[in-house]
A and B are shown apart, each in its own frame.
Chain A
Amino acid sequence: MVTVRCFAGIREILGHDTLSFTPAKDASTAADVLAAVAGAHLPGLPQPILVAINREHAALTSPVHDGDEVAFFPPVSGG
């Protein structure tokens, strides 16, 4: 099982900030996780989508393993 975190505009569209998800196969990618949790909302998500795995920047192509925390968010705008 992986923990999925969503922030900003992605959180608003998906309606969740945190949820648990069991990938279909052990070595799925962040993109696979996003497609599964977003479902029909996927085409409407603001682009680009950034990814963090276990609180470090990653890519949509990065592998996701059991126990990981995967976060999806828009480009950042602090400061």
Chain B
Amino acid sequence: MIVRLQAADFDPEHEAQALTVQGAGARVSFVGTVRDVSAGHPITALEIEHYPEMTTAELERIATAAQAQYQLLEVLIIHRFGRILCDERIVLVTVWSAHRAAAFAGCQAIMDALKTCAPFWKKELTTEGDHWVPGRSPPDLD
């Protein structure tokens, strides 16, 4: 498993190609990007804050659980922080498995867990002012 937090942009295909995964017959990637509009107002950028000492551990926990549940052979997660401009990439989740069903399901499960458990917070910078994006809570804490 590889988990990386960084301010810089990344190239999803380059990142995935850099890994050789024995036994893999499927690779599924999700790339999240900055939307250009929010509630009808143009977005100029996002500011992403996180809890550095907790974020990596939480993403590793999420990846480990998904690897076990979906028999994933490898998991790569890259998430950016800091200021990210409109249309830029925010997050990459790439998973490898023997067959496609596990790869699709595993990738979605990791993203779902990331969005409810990983300690990131987005502030949208718009032409009408800045505001925090409403978030989600871990399922067992709702």
Mutual binders A and B: yes
Which A residues are CB-close (under 8 A) to B117? 57, 76
Main secondary structure of the interface of B (DSSP, over half): mixed
Task: List the count of A-B residue pairs having beta carbons below 8 Å apart.
Answer: 84
A68 to chain B minimum Cβ distance, whole angstroms, is 13
Which B residues are CB-close (under 8 A) to A36? none
Segment 21-79 of A: residues with Cβ below 8 Å from B: 46, 48, 50, 52, 55-57, 59, 69, 71, 73-79
Segment 36-63 of B: residues with Cβ below 8 Å from A: 48-51, 53-54, 57-58
**Cβ-defined contact, B135 with A75, below 8 A:** yes
Interface size class of A (residues with CB under 8 A): 20 to 34
**Cβ-defined contact, B141 with A79, below 8 A:** no
A17 to chain B minimum Cβ distance, whole angstroms, is 9
Is A1 an interface residue when CB atoms closer than 8 A count as contact? no
Is B66 an interface residue when CB atoms closer than 8 A count as contact? no
Residue from A57, A59, A79 in contact with B90 in the complex, judged by beta carbons closer than 8 Å: A79
Complex-state Cα separation, A77 to B138, whole angstroms:
11
**Cβ-defined contact, A59 with B132, below 8 A:** no
B41 to chain A minimum Cβ distance, whole angstroms, is 17
Q: Which residue of A lies closest to B113 (CB)?
A: A79
Is B121 an interface residue when CB atoms closer than 8 A count as contact? yes
Residue from B90, B132, B137 in contact with A50 in the complex, judged by beta carbons closer than 8 Å: B137
**Cβ-defined contact, A71 with B50, below 8 A:** no
